[in-house]
Amino acid sequence: MIRGRTVLFWALAAALVIGHAIVSWHSLVVWRFWEDEAFNLTVPRNLLAGLGYSSDGALSGSTITPFDPRISTGPAVLLPVAAVLTTGVDMVIGARLIPLTYWLLLLVGLAIIGRRIGGRWAALLALAVPLAFTTSAGVSPIQGPADLLGEIPAAALLVWALVALPRRAWLAGLLVGLAVQAKLIALLALPAFALALWILSDGQGWARLRDFLRRSWLPLVLVGTPTLLVELSALLSLGGSGYVQHLRDLVHFVRSGGQGASTTVLQKLMTLADSWSVPAPVAALAALLLVAAIITAVVIAHRAPLSADRLVLAYGSAAALGTLTFILWWATASHLPLWVRHPSVGIFAFVPVLAATAVWSARRLPRGNAARFAAVTATAFALVVGVGATAHTASSFTPRDQTLAHQRAAVAPLTEWVSDTGTEWLAAEPWGAAIPAIVLTGAHVGLFDATAMAEVPRLTGLTCATETIIDGSPYRICAAP
């Protein structure tokens, strides 16, 4: 006879699968193609056109720019996109299939880790956390899992590095290296992996240190291998002086964040609390519940070591350190704007693992008041996550001012004009919705105030200051000034 708990589990699992499917479908084919996606897409498009690994340089002088530092989504995402586009599939849908595939890999990896930590219920909660986390607010969002961006692919690779770490540390190192080449900020995960590897090392004192060093040297080499290959390619492409300038531009971009904002820690934390599909106070309460459950587990495990699982300790410790590293880096970086997209790599990769650890704390601790407290707090956290996941799914059906279909219809006459006239470049005025519109026409995209764009027609959603060449409403092409 089927038990009630089993029925409940599979009912919740089915609802979770449906929720993920709804959000993924809308992200793939419904939601608008926005400017960062379009800018990233210029790289695989140029690669297929024989122009090398180059962007259109819209933020770097509006000329073809090899290994553009302003393209922060890396080859681990954009090279597979180029491979997909060789099939002749629709440009936007084909490009979005790669991040969506990484999203599916993220979920599978989280399910594996969750099951290792606390069984099927921990796996279920780990899968629900990414659905409750929303990153679509603000001017630089991740609208959904199919956006052509590097954050979700980097998180997926980090999760699979955790999966591989206990038995194949070398593979974990390689996967972390690939995560860095999906999004450079994945480097912040290195201390978390070092901690996990230390916990999984054998022996005590110097013996443990020797085992840690023995197990870590090859993974560390492999962490750097993908970046080394990319940088060697850049050196060969750019030459000595060009490569030195490339490094200077990259360092400047990383240090400045490319924005020059001024924000506070409190503003960052409030923005993070607003990103969970539930009211911010409820999200903050859920975070406190999660921390309380895990601290209780750690205290009890310390008092009764036989109840502790070293693998769980490694995963939980890595997830805690990883989460704190990404959030504290972002919160204290006052030059970075209030874009939750920045720490999202760590949140997508590590917070679900923490949630699974909370389930372990509720199930594996010795009976008593502390265990009951852990169970209550873990259950309350799970309820908040469930509400957030449901709200996020429901929000997919909210009508939007602009969709991919609207964009395609608006640029259709402009695309025809670009094709008929053989126009190679259009200047966007200003940065924003005009960027994806130009990419959809098939032209190269520059920025209106770049010197290289002085005699190039402009695509804008504003009123033309010069002759209107063609009006597609809401976009139009204006003659060069």
Residue 400's pLDDT is 85
pLDDT tens digits, residue range 262-272?
Answer: 889 999 999 99
pLDDT tens digits, residue range 192-204?
Answer: 999 999 999 888 8
Question: Is residue 20 pLDDT above 70, yes or no?
Answer: yes
Distance separating alpha carbons of residues 11 and 2, to the nearest angstrom: 13
pLDDT above 70 as % of the chain: 93
Name the pLDDT band for 296 (thresholds 50, 70, 90): low
Name the pLDDT band for 292 (thresholds 50, 70, 90): confident
Domain boundaries, the chain: 4-30+72-395, 405-478
Residue 335: CB partners within 8 Å, gap ≥ 6? Answer: 256, 257, 259, 260, 261, 262
Amino acid of residue 410: A
- DSSP-assigned letters across all residues of 339-355: -TTTTHHHHHHHHHHHH
Residue 306's pLDDT is 39
Average pLDDT of the residues in 359-377: 69
pLDDT tens digits, residue range 55-90?
Answer: 999 998 999 999 999 999 999 999 999 999 999 999
Average pLDDT of the residues in 86-107: 97
Residue 307's pLDDT is 40
Question: Is residue 109 pLDDT above 70, yes or no?
Answer: yes
Mean residue pLDDT across the chain: 90
Residue 336: CB partners within 8 Å, gap ≥ 6? Answer: 257, 259, 261, 263, 330, 342
Tell me, what DSSP letter sits at residue 478? E
Nearest to 311 by CA among 423, 151, 434, 199: 199
Residue 281's pLDDT is 86
pLDDT tens digits, residue range 310-326?
Answer: 888 899 889 999 999 99
